[in-house]
Amino acid sequence: LPSRPRRLVVVVNPVGGRRRALATYKNKVAPLLHRAAIATSLTVTEYQGHGREVGEGVGEGVDGVVAVGGDGLVNEVVLGLLLRSCRLHHHDPHDHTRPLPSTKLRLGIIPGGSTDATCHGTHGTSDVITAALHIIMGDSRSVDLAAVYSGDKLQSVATTMVSYGYFGDLLRTSERWRCLGPTRYLVAGLLQFFRNRSYEGSLKVLTPATPLSHTYDIDKCNHDCGVCDNAASSTSKPGEWLQFNGRWSIVTSAVMSCACRLTPHGISPTAHLGDGCTDLILVSGGSRWRVLTYLLRTAYTGDAARLNHVNMHRVQEVHFTPKVNKPKSSWNCDGEQLLEPTLRLKVHCQRLRLFSRGVESAGDSYTKTTISPSASCKNASSV
C-alpha cells in the first residue's frame, strides 16, 4: 500500500459532542496507528480556532492530518489546511474570482461529535474503527468544499452544509445550552419550531451550463461514482444566473448528502461528493406544518423535495441578501455560527483530499479467499 501514511498530525477536540473524543482516540485509534507503524503528533485543542491554527501550521514531512471530533473541528482543520495551501501557492484566499488551490495533505476524520455528518457522508458510517482503517490503508478521495465569503473576506469553508433560518437559529440557541450535551439540539429545535420564524431575502444563484447530474436523479454518490469522475476530468462551465425573492423558514446549501444517525438519508440524498455543485434547498415560511413535514420527511423518508413548499436547485454559487429593516437570522456553517447574514458561497470542485473511498453501495460484495490449514500455518510462521 504505497499511498498509506507514515507520519500524521492528530487534532482532538476533548469537549465536543459527548466529550469522549480523547478517550476514543487513546483507546481505539491510537493502538491501531501504533500497530501500523504510523508516527503521530497529538494536539488537544484548548480554544475555538485552535484546530485551524494546527492545520495551517503543519510542517513538511507529514502525510496528513487526523481530526478527532465533530463537524465543527473538521471545519476548523479544513480551513487551516486551505489557508496553508493558499500560502504555499501564493494565492490570496479572499480573492473569490480565482479557484482555490487543492489541499495537498489528506484529512482523516474520526467521529467524536454530536452528528458527525462529514464522516458519515464520506464513509457511509460513523464507525470509529472503519474510519481509522481507511486512514491506515491510505485511501484517498477528493471532495468539494464551499468557500463562504462576507464582503471581500473569506469567512469560513463548508464541507457539509450552510443553513439560514431554522438551523441557524437552532445553533445560536443551542450554544447557550452546551451543558446539556447533544440533547441541546433537540431542545433548541423544539423551541425554534414553536417560534415559527421565517425570514425575507433575495437569492442569486449560478447554475452549471451542462449539469452532470440533477437533484431528482435516483442514483446516489458512491465509491465508484461516474458523476464525480467526470467532474474531475472536465471543467464545468458556468451557466445562467437565477434570481429568487421570498420568505423562507429554511435556506440550506448542502455540499454533500449530510447523512448522519439523525437523518440516515441525508438532507440532500442525491448530492455528490465531487461534482462541483451544491444543492440549494428552500423551505417556504408561514406555517409550522411546512417546517414539520419537511423535517419529518428529511429524517425518515428522504423525499422532502417532493413537498410543494420545498424547492431544490443544483448550483455552483449562491449569493444571499436579507431584506433591509426585517428580522435576520444567522448562518450555521458545519456546526459553526456565522453572524453576518449577507453571504456569498462558491463551490470549488474536489479541492479537499480525504482519507476516504466514498460511500460503498449496499449491493457491494467482496469475495473472501479460502485458505487451507497448511497455508494458514505457513503464513503464520512467516509472520
Distance CA 352, CA 107 (A): 8
Assign 8 to helix, strand or coil: strand
Give me 26's grid cell: 487513546
Task: Categorise residue 220: left if φ over 0, alpha if ψ from -120 to 50, beta otherwise.
Answer: beta
Distance CA 359, CA 374 (A): 37
Distance CA 90, CA 8 (A): 25
- Residue whose C-alpha is closest to residue 242's, from 282, 205, 210, 277: 205
Ramachandran angles phi, psi of 54, nearest 5°? -65, -45
Residues classed as catalytic? 71
Distance CA 125, CA 12 (A): 20
Give me 41's grid cell: 503528533
Assign 241 to helix, strand or coil: strand
Contact present, 106 and 143 (Cβ < 8 Å):
no
The DSSP secondary structure of 163-193, one letter per residue, reads EEEHHHHHHHHHGGGGGGTTHHHHHHHHHHH
Ramachandran angles phi, psi of 143, nearest 5°? -125, 165
| Burial 159-189, CB ≥16 within 10 A → b, else e | bbbbbbbbbbbbbbbbeeeeeeeeebbeebb
Dihedral of the CA atoms 25, 30, 32, 34 (nearest 10)? 170
Residue 329 Cα to chain centre, angstroms: 21
